[in-house]
Amino acid sequence: MDSIETPLGVLQHTFGYDQFREPQAQVIDTLVAGGDALVIMPTGGGKSLCYQIPALVREGVGVIISPLIALMRDQVNALNQLGVSAAYLNSTLDHDQIWQIEQQIASGEIDLLYIAPERLLQARTLQLLAQLNIALFAIDEAHCVSQWGHDFRADYLNLGILHERFPAVPRIALTATADERTRGEIVKRLGLQQAASFLCGFDRPNIQYRITQKSNARQQLLQFLKHEHANDAGIVYCLSRKKVEDVASWMSAEGYTALPYHAGLSTQIRQNHQDRFLREDGVIIVATVAFGMGIDKPDVRFVAHLDLPKSLEAYYQETGRAGRDGLPSNAWMVYGVQDVIKLRQMLEMSNGDDQHKRAERYKLDAMLGLCEITTCRRQALLHYFGDPAEAKCGNCDACLIPIETWDGSEAAQKALSCAYRTGQRFGVNHLVDVLLGKDGDKIQQFGHDTLSVHGLGKDLDVTQWRSVFRQLVARGYLTVDVSGFGSLLLTEKCRPVLKGEESLHLRKDRKAERKGRGSKSIRTKVTFTGHDETLWQALRVIRKDLADEQAVPPYIIFGDATLKEMVSAQPISETQMLNIIGVGETKLERYGDAFMGAIREHQVDILDKV
């Protein structure tokens, strides 16, 4: 076998990387030898190479099952830029285009074929595949097979047919998000009992996790963007479609390019907004969970949550869309007691059976636990996925600015007593008013101004009491009435607290961050100074022009990490350029002269100024 046909040769000459990351080489060797593999690897860890390279090394076409059109298109565009013959079959193609691609597949012209699961399972497609020499099957986003997961896709349940129809073809299932239960489901439903398992850890060290209490969410977001992400691409997640629309409109009025994305918008609008996000600089998508899975954009510098996610799986998946290029990025979230109440109501009022609701309660409790924890957030997050971290990360808000706690036992007793004495029929706002001794019409109407708890909480302010109630709900001392009114009910767990048999230490919530007041946020931009900044901007202009000419996102030409290395190394020969990460032989041939020319001009300009 010629050296360029070895996995390492393909990695270096086609993809432009010197060496494999762990455990890419072992995964690839397993598939090349005809074995099956289950790969759990964090976003940005290089999952796609684990099936792309063996598909190129082995004889035949590699078939990749992918749940999203955007992911297929991005992957195919990126592979074509590398000189790899790749195509996709999905609903965006007309009959003639599908026929043409099928003919290319049949004649052996396609090395990698991306296909949606519903199309793969059609009799026509299975008949076509039966006539081909197939290098491998790759099942991407394999967690979609889990009926307990937030991204469940019914068509994934039937992908076990691949093992039945094509027993000699190696299969690989990949995902970034799978706890132990989900991993078991993937193995069982896809028939991967004999597959080699590669659990690569879930840590994304370049992402800084920051969670703070919600006071004025929009202003908090505005301060965050102004001080840290003024011109960056990012995603803002909201729970409802209406909120998505409202926040996008407000952000646009504040001068940001903010586009809404949710399932209620037409397919054309969603596609247009997604295309702008991928191809333009500094675009912010405001979205429900309908947006994001499979988005390959590497330079998303932040993911912000204005509402609490339903589970740690959802939170990890959504925050993982930041910093795919490995450069510093932010996962920022604000949440409050109303978020907790709303999610608990939605859970209890859902149509799921008792078993499903128990599982969802556990997931929501784990999400709340991450929010209220006073120690390293990354440790807690990784522990949930069975990936224990021994040391504190030093890159989350709890590590950078340690959380203060206070003895909230007496305050908790007052809060619980207030909920009890008002008949467990009222929400947080009313209970706080009673504790503060207010005399509004509602309080007088129900006679709550005569209760012993009326005015008993004047030692704390409104914000502090809301924090107390939030933490009591999060920790399970109070629960939410499912009637839709948000009334708080006492649980059996609260008895020891009310009787003084259990002490309770609560978080001391921080005030809203202000620029220059002890903030230890990371720098999340690629920044240069002087001459290097000039070269950086020049290379970005060239990249954008080339991308526009071909109607592809700029990162398909070269990612930020590649441009950053060009600025540092300033290659002016083909040999030097091939040493830059992400520059393979095809990209050198297509784009090398343009970028090396800009670097040479830059060096001449500097000499002229000396």
Bond prior to 23 in cis (omega within 30° of 0): yes
Tens digits of residue pLDDT in 539-554: 999 999 999 999 888 9
CATH topology of domain 3-199: Rossmann fold (3.40.50)
pLDDT for position 167 = 93
Min mean pLDDT across 210-214, 420-424, 499-503, 518-522 is at 518-522
Min mean pLDDT across 354-368, 511-525, 529-543, 596-610 is at 511-525
Min mean pLDDT across 1-10, 80-89, 123-132, 461-470 is at 1-10
pLDDT for position 3 = 43
Cα(252)–Cα(286) distance, integer angstroms = 11
Min mean pLDDT across 354-358, 376-380, 566-570, 594-598 is at 354-358
Structure tokens of 454?
Answer: 């009326």
Cα(292)–Cα(377) distance, integer angstroms = 23
In the chain, where the domains are located: 3-199, 207-400, 405-505, 530-609
Are domains 3-199 and 207-400 of this chain identical in fold?
A: yes
Neighbours of 349 (CB within 10 A): 11
Pick the CATH number of 207-400 from 1.10.1370.30, 1.20.1070.10, 3.30.470.20, 3.40.50.300: 3.40.50.300
Helix (H, G, I), strand (E, B) or coil at 583: coil
CB 169 within 8 A of CB 132: no
**Half-sphere exposure of residue 455, counting CA atoms within 13 Å on the CB side?**
8
Tens digits of residue pLDDT in 331-370: 999 998 888 888 888 887 777 778 778 888 888 888 988 9
pLDDT for position 609 = 66
Report the top-level CATH class of 530-609.
Answer: mainly alpha
**Closest listed residue to residue 516, CA positions, set 112, 253, 228:** 228
Q: Which of 218-222, 336-340, 508-512 has maximum average pLDDT?
A: 218-222
Q: In the predicted model, what is the mean pLDDT of residues 79-98?
A: 91
pLDDT for position 345 = 81
CB 469 within 8 A of CB 478: yes
Q: In the predicted model, what is the mean pLDDT of residues 52-75?
A: 90
Q: In the predicted model, what is the mean pLDDT of residues 68-87?
A: 89
Range 487-491 contact pairs with CB under 8 angstroms and sequence separation of 24 or more: 487/424, 487/425, 487/426, 487/427, 488/341, 488/419, 488/424, 488/426, 488/427, 488/428, 488/431, 489/419, 489/424, 490/416, 490/419, 490/420, 490/424
- Number of DSSP helices (H) and strands (E) in the chain, helices first: 27, 17
| 219 pLDDT more than 90 | yes
Alpha helix locations (H) across 286-396? 312-319, 337-348, 354-372, 377-384
**Global confidence as pTM:** 0.79
Decide if domain 405-505 falls under CATH 1.10.10.10. yes
